[in-house]
Amino acid sequence: MKIRSTTVLAVMHNGEVAIGADGQATMGNTVAKSNVKKIRKLANGKIIVGFAGSTADAFTLLERLEDKINAFGQNLKRGAIELAKEWRMDKYLQKLEAMIIAVSKDEMLIIAGSGDVLEPDHNIASIGSGSMYAQSAALALIKHAPHLSAEEIVRESLNIAADICIYTNHNLVIEKIE
């Protein structure tokens, strides 16, 4: 599934975890809103998620993910796998168009409606139209500026993506796992 119209990036680096997203929402080729908050905290702030795709669809999935996480004792991976199974099998959920990045202090997952629950390489996860720009920037920053914090890497990478991707803006929301 190709999700357009946003960029979400998560980075684990030097013992820190940060996730961020731009704030642009589009309807077709028009900017509908410039300051959408696409980052949410779950499990009393122990898990942070970012979404790309339809906002209503993403909220439906985030509620279900939180229910699954709670049902499995705050286990992010187990909750994500159960959500992905349900998402793939349920005729109503199959129509939902969104993707999710979920992070905890120890795990980073990309969850998609195709049934995928991916643990990304290099401790970097990205989704959305500007995801490859942000991911490339994050990889370069980790390699060439390893002293930067995870939050600094996410911020700079999202700004680079916003400079390139017309569906990504500079109104960023970034959260860290404390």
Task: Output the CA–CA distances (angstroms, integers) from residue 116 to 46, 98, 107, 113, 167, in the order listed.
Answer: 22, 12, 15, 7, 24
In this prediction, residue 178 carries a pLDDT of 75
Residue holding tokens 């991916």? 118
In this prediction, residue 4 carries a pLDDT of 56
In this prediction, residue 26 carries a pLDDT of 85
| Each residue's pLDDT expressed in tens, for the chain with a length of 178 residues | 444 579 999 999 999 999 999 999 888 788 889 999 999 999 999 999 999 988 888 899 999 999 999 999 999 999 999 999 998 888 888 888 889 999 999 999 999 888 899 999 999 999 999 999 999 999 999 999 999 999 999 999 999 999 999 999 999 999 999 7
Give the three-class secondary structure for 91.
Answer: coil
The CA dihedral of 18, 23, 28, 31, to the nearest 10 degrees, is -160
Report how far residue 14's alpha carbon sits from residue 149's, in angstroms, rounded to the nearest whole number: 7
In this prediction, residue 1 carries a pLDDT of 46
Please report the DSSP string for 5-20 in residue order: S-EEEEEEETTEEEEE
| CB 178, CB 150: distance < 8 Å | no
In this prediction, residue 115 carries a pLDDT of 84
Domains of the chain: 7-176 (3.60.20.10)
In this prediction, residue 127 carries a pLDDT of 96
Total-model pTM: 0.95
In this prediction, residue 94 carries a pLDDT of 84
Closest CA to 31 of 124, 165, 176, 175: 165
Query: Catalytic site residues?
Result: 6
